[in-house]
Amino acid sequence: MDSEVKQHSSGIYMKIVNLDIPVTADSAIVWQNETLYLLDQRVLPGTEQFIELYSAEETARAISDMVVRGAPAIGVTAAFGVVLAAREVFQKFGSKWKQHIKPLLDQLEKSRPTAINLSWAIEKMRTHIQELEDDLDPEAKLQKLAVEIHDKDIEDNRAIGNFGASLIDTESGIITHCNAGALATGGYGTALGVVRSVHAQGKLKRVYADETRPWLQGARLTAWELARDNIPVTLIADSAAACRMAAGGIDWVVVGSDRIAANGDVANKIGTYQLAIAAKYHGVKVMVAAPTSTIDMSLPNGSQIPIEKRAASELLSCGGQRMTPEGLDAWNPVFDVTPAELVDAIVTEKGVILNPDAEKMKNH
């Protein structure tokens, strides 16, 4: 296994390694030899490299720096980050490790604000931590729980894929936005899990992938995943989606989510809201595919969902090259909220919620 150490602007070192495993979308998160490795999604598809992480601080930085992205994948990664935190504090503080792990858990939880799966995974690990003895090394038991979270996410995604596919007819065209595939989850994917299941059942005509500015997750990641699986995919500009619907042959918009409110309002990658509006006008149905860990019943509606704002430079530049006049400002929210009335179905590992509302969400 070759390696190279690079320093981030934060001063945190992360080691780039070449693992002796095939690089696939399902290998985005790897726990191997008691070490966490992440497929660096910032440099796909041109470069396929893993980042080796040694600490909770590095894991939090990897999440905020978009080495890993996608709500379920962030949750899984954070769970393994807790394992690294436990190793670090037990080695330093012994039986006093619990009081010293809390700041590291807080740091992980704050690494990205919108994805509820992050705090969901941290809370599961926190609860387990309280059950452990102070004077025993917690690493092995926390590792076991993190692996279970990872495995359960993959299992749930396959269930989501099958439930979603049951709604889709033969010879269907699908538009998707951002990347909600294996790269964004523990494996298989949510929205792309549905696509994979539809394709496996012989019902898919073609997927149209929005490029998804400014990080181009649709162009770099979704297209990469689908092409590798020999699933027919065509890339379109975000602004071409309504025109593509008007031309016919589109039956569904299928997207993932980073947080779903109690009434069925959905936070997803910026641009989802306008896609749902266009779908409503053109008679195209909208499906949101997400595990139940993405549902936040504590928030009555989408107006309460915290929306992450990122640096203006992400819009002002492309591929590291400035594309705009000097001195220009930019507004860069990275998620928007789609009202429940624009959503035809929310699909989780438990089943399908048609025309979601507060009562249906509560009983799901």
Q: What is the pLDDT of residues 68-122, one digit of tens each?
A: 999 999 999 999 999 999 999 999 999 999 999 999 999 999 999 888 999 999 9
Tokens for 66? Answer: 């978009």
- % of the chain exceeding 90 in pLDDT: 90
Q: What is the pLDDT of residue 27?
A: 87
- CA angle in degrees (0–180, nearest 5) for 286-292-295: 75
For the question of whether the overall pTM of this predicted structure is more than 0.85, the answer is yes
pLDDT at 67 over 50: yes
Per the omega criterion (within 30 degrees of 0), is the bond before 138 cis?
Answer: no
For residues 73 and 62, give the distance between their C-alpha atoms in angstroms, rounded to a whole number.
12
Q: What is the pLDDT of residue 14?
A: 66
pLDDT at 234 over 90: yes
- As a whole number, mean pLDDT of residues 272-291 equals 98
Q: What is the pLDDT of residue 292?
A: 97
Q: What is the pLDDT of residue 341?
A: 98
Tokens for 149? Answer: 């979270």
For residues 204 and 274, give the distance between their C-alpha atoms in angstroms, rounded to a whole number.
24
Q: What is the pLDDT of residue 10?
A: 41
* Full DSSP string of 170-196: TTEEEEE-S--BGGGSSSSBSHHHHHH
Task: Mention every residue, 6+ apart, whose C-beta is less than 8 A from residue 86.
Answer: 97, 101, 129, 138, 139, 142
- As a whole number, mean pLDDT of residues 266-292 equals 98
- % of the chain exceeding 70 in pLDDT: 96
Residues in the chain: 364
SS3 71: helix
Average pLDDT, the chain: 94
For 289, phi and psi rounded to 5 degrees?
-110, 120
Per the omega criterion (within 30 degrees of 0), is the bond before 45 cis?
Answer: yes
Q: How confident is the model at residue 8 (pLDDT cuts 50, 70, 90)?
A: very low
Range in 23-32, 163-172, 229-238, 252-261 with the lowest mean pLDDT: 23-32
For residues 351 and 302, give the distance between their C-alpha atoms in angstroms, rounded to a whole number.
22
Residues catalogued as catalytic: 258
Q: How confident is the model at residue 338 (pLDDT cuts 50, 70, 90)?
A: very high
Q: What is the pLDDT of residue 21?
A: 79
For residues 299 and 105, give the distance between their C-alpha atoms in angstroms, rounded to a whole number.
23
